[in-house]
Amino acid sequence: MKAVTLLGSTGSIGVSTLNVLSLHPEKYSVYALTANRSVDVMFEQCQQFNPKIAVMLDEQAAETLANKLKGVSSNTEVLSGEQALVQVAESHDVDYVMAAIVGAAGLLPTLAAAKSGKHILLANKEALVMSGGLFMREVEANHATLLPVDSEHNAIWQCLPVGQQQQYHYDGRGVRKIVLTASGGPFRDYDIADLEHVTPEQAVAHPNWSMGQKISVDSATMMNKGLEVIEAHWLFGMASNQIEVLLHRQSIIHSMVDYIDGSMLAQMGNPDMRTPIANALAWPERIDSGVAPLNLAAAGRLDFAVADYEHFPCLALAYQALDAGGTSTAILNAANEVAVDAFLNKQLKYTGIAQVNEQVLTSLSASSGDTLQQILDDDFQARELAKALIV
């Protein structure tokens, strides 16, 4: 029986994870659930999964939850605040930590899971984008196991030779490059001139995947794919010129590994995050995820095309930041979080997201990123500059 802490349980990944866990009560128990402030969803989840601890980041929300739970004689303990997130990620009672908080807010608890040698199921790509070098050093030094949940990285993980997935270095695996597939999001067929007036409602309506708001906007701009390029660099030890992005509108091939003998291995499946979640939970074994089997005859065809930087400037910015190194990727990530938030609140045009990201990335000078303090300082500066540019 493995005890699981689920950081971000009320979100899209969190709900899918609980869905998979509910199919295997004999294998997994829920130690802690955490959320920002969604009390009603958390209350339901506590009643169904009876965690030892529930954490609400927001103190007021924690109080409301505690009162509601008292009303149903629940024995779940309710905590609040950032330190409580860290506490349930590093607790000795926990085996597996699902890192599914969105954005930079997930960094500290995910880092705590790495430092305490947990089996980490990583959805929160922003943690690696912000602090890849530091994070991977903690993983290696503390013998944590890092399992990618992001569908592309989980696909690559599955296509790498068994026993070599956790070598965070490229040498010796016979890999020429890795190919991240991208659906291209809801605007892939739009003329560039028409992007200026697209709305948040249109941007979050992804053609193939159902996801949280922030990552849905990132999928439309392809900043998400850019963050995934950076994530792949750290997870698999590949240089930026060995990581390619390919448009594939059906989202059936989730990514590929190209070997030096001419073989290209792909992982396929229906676009449903329960597959990579179940894969990461059960690795190296396999468990039922609840996802329907892939019907290729019904899918009919698979299309591929080159991703064009003029249409998706955020993708080019991610490669630029990765090549610049240090805290450049943290700076880009922070600017993007502020810009996406402003777009969702109708304070910034869609095309303004790439403009803000580029201006912040090129105006600030990055530091080495060797310490957490440097990373957090540069993240803060980038947010301040992005906010100033938007106003």
Q: How far apart are CA 341 and CA 318, in angstroms?
A: 19
Quick check: 14 binds ligand NAD (CB under 6 A)?
Answer: yes
Judged by beta carbon, residue 11 or residue 184, the one nearer ligand NAD is: 11
How far from 110 is each of 47, 107, 146, 337, CA to CA, in Å?
26, 5, 11, 18
Judged by beta carbon, residue 101 or residue 334, the one nearer ligand NAD is: 101
Residue 254 CB, nearest distance to ligand NAD (Å)? 11
First-last CA distance in the chain: 52
Residue 174 CB, nearest distance to ligand NAD (Å)? 28
Interface residue with ligand NAD, options 3, 4, 5, 13 (CB under 6 A): 13
Strands (E), the chain: 2-7, 28-35, 53-56, 77-80, 96-99, 119-122, 145-148, 175-182, 243-247, 253-259, 264-268, 305-306
Residues 6+ apart with CB under 8 A from 224: 215, 218
What is the contact mask toward ligand NAD in residues 18 to 57, using x (rule: CB under 6 A)?
-----------------xx-x------------------x
Quick check: 101 binds ligand NAD (CB under 6 A)?
Answer: yes
User: Between residue 205 and residue 244, which ones bind ligand NAD under the rule CB under 6 A?
Assistant: 209, 211-212, 215
Strands 243-247 and 253-259: unpaired
Judged by beta carbon, residue 125 or residue 248, the one nearer ligand NAD is: 125
Q: Which region among 98-106, 233-241, 293-301, 347-355 touches ligand NAD (by CB under 6 A)?
A: 98-106
User: Between residue 108 and residue 147, which ones bind ligand NAD under the rule CB under 6 A?
Assistant: 123-126
164: its two tokens? 């070599």
Judged by beta carbon, residue 178 or residue 386, the one nearer Mg ion is: 178
User: Between residue 314 and residue 353, which ones bind ligand NAD under the rule CB under 6 A?
Assistant: none
Residue 98 CB, nearest distance to Mg ion (Å)? 15
Using CB under 5 A as the criterion, which residues of the chain lie in contact with Mg ion when the complex forms? 150-152
Angle among Cα 91, 24, 265 to the nearest 5 degrees reads 95
Judged by beta carbon, residue 151 or residue 374, the one nearer Mg ion is: 151
How far from 367 is each of 303, 326, 357, CA to CA, in Å?
41, 6, 18
Q: How far apart are CA 46 and CA 44, in angstroms?
A: 5
Q: Binding-site residue total for ligand NAD (CB under 6 A)?
A: 25
Residue 237 CB, nearest distance to Mg ion (Å)? 19
Residue 391 CB neighbours (<10 A): 7
Strands 243-247 and 305-306: antiparallel
Judged by beta carbon, residue 15 or residue 306, the one nearer ligand NAD is: 15
Interface residue with ligand NAD, options 5, 8, 96, 357 (CB under 6 A): 8
Q: In Å, how far from its chain's centre is CA 113?
A: 16
Residue nearest to Mg ion (CB): 150
The burial of 51, by beta-carbon neighbours within 10 Å (0-12 exposed, 13-18 middle, 19 or more buried), is given as buried
Judged by beta carbon, residue 39 or residue 314, the one nearer Mg ion is: 314
Residue 125, binding choice from Mg ion, ligand NAD, none, Cβ under 5 to 8 Å by partner class: ligand NAD
Judged by beta carbon, residue 126 or residue 150, the one nearer Mg ion is: 150
Which residues would be at the binding site for ligand NAD (CB under 6 A)?
Answer: 8-14, 35-36, 38, 57, 100-102, 105, 123-126, 150, 209, 211-212, 215, 273
